Amino acid sequence: MNNPETGATGVWRFWPLRLVLFFLVLVALYAGAQVMMMLLPKALPGISPQAIGVGAALAGCLAILAAYRLLVRWTERRRADELSALQAIPQLLGGTAIGFVLFAAVYAVLFALGAVSFHGWNGAQGLAIAAATSLLAGVGEEAIFRGAVYRLFENGFGTFAAIVFSGALFGLIHAANKGATPESTAAIALEAGILLAAAYLVTRSLWLPIGLHFGWNFTEGGIFGAAVSGGQSHGLVNATLSGPQLITGGAFGPEASIPAVSVCLVAAIVMLTIAAQRGEWRALAFRLRAS
């Protein structure tokens, strides 16, 4: 298997230094875009808040993708093939479809358990901002946690260690969200952390996990109106959840539920198996610089 780091030279051969640089730059851009989505509508009262929010989210996505490409070119002396334009459309669409199907499967399980009831349709006025917010989360969090944390950690310690570390970190960064509990933190680490790492591993591309992340979040919040990692949403479908927190996810949202963890782990196992069959797994190792 080709090592994507062979072009790194000087101090950048030490992947922990690159990890810190990538993490700081990408987190700053992601957080900045979120702040702009909140503050710009107040600063520009004459313009539609939804239009401003969508514009800020799209600008943030473009800035994050451009910064990632530049960081790869500068520190690793290579093109960011994990963001190949040829793979973008099919993998984004495929990932979005997978995310939709997986979250719809969660709601099917909840309906079968009597934990969700449907009351018709809401208006579509919140769909644009839900889509923009979901896309920003997909691009920002996948660039940070799969493009930087998982990818670089895998080059240092191998695939299994990278899945465990990046998944645990992904769960922990959601621990401060509204409605978060130890159970929700573990759920995010298990379902999203492992599934999204598997989506990257099976393709060696960021587009599939970006699409999957977007599809899941948009279906959760934009379609069903459920809380997305604690953030309230206005969805197309008027649905309410009731029942034990382990079944519904409580205030954090259904992704903190046992059905969500179960559905995502099944999908992750399928992807990890395919990746292993393709020879994508990297052996356990301990190296701090590129070979």
- Chain segment 245-288, per-residue pLDDT in tens: 999 999 999 999 999 999 999 999 999 999 999 999 999 999 98
Instruction: Give kind and range of the element (H or E) at residue 199.
Output: helix 194-203
Tokens 């699409």 found at: 211
Q: Which of 92-106, 158-172, 218-232 has the lowest mean pLDDT?
A: 218-232
Q: What is the pLDDT of residues 28-67, one digit of tens each?
A: 999 999 999 999 988 888 889 899 999 999 999 999 999 9
Asked if residue 165 lies in contact with residue 23, where contact means CB atoms within 8 angstroms, the answer is no
Question: What is the rounded average pLDDT of the residues 95-120?
Answer: 96
Distance CA 36, CA 64 (A): 14
Map out the domains of the chain as residue ranges.
85-277
Instruction: Read off the tokens for 87.
Output: 């793979």
**Cα radius of gyration (the chain):** 19
Residue owning tokens 């591993």: 201
CA–CA distance, 193 with 170 (Å, rounded to integer) = 6
Residues of the chain with pLDDT > 90: what percent?
Answer: 84
∠ CA 18-10-70 to the nearest 5 degrees?
45
The amino acid at residue 137 is A
- Residue 3 structure tokens: 């090592």
Average pLDDT, the chain: 93
What confidence category does residue 6 fall into, taking pLDDT thresholds of 50, 70 and 90?
Answer: low
Single pTM value for the model: 0.95
Are 27 and 60 a contacting pair, CB within 8 Å? no
Q: What is the pLDDT of residues 216-241, one digit of tens each?
A: 999 999 999 998 988 888 889 989 99
- Note the Cα 141 to chain centre separation in Å: 5
Q: What is the mean pLDDT of residues 189-206?
A: 97
| pLDDT at 189 (0 to 100) | 96
Tokens 């997986």 locate to 102
Residue 35 CA: distances (Å) to CA of 39, 179, 228, 235, 244: 6, 21, 18, 23, 34
1 — pLDDT class (breaks 50, 70, 90): very low
SS3 for 212?
helix
Q: Give the pLDDT of residue 120.
A: 87
Residue 215's closest CA among 113, 109, 101, 115? Answer: 101
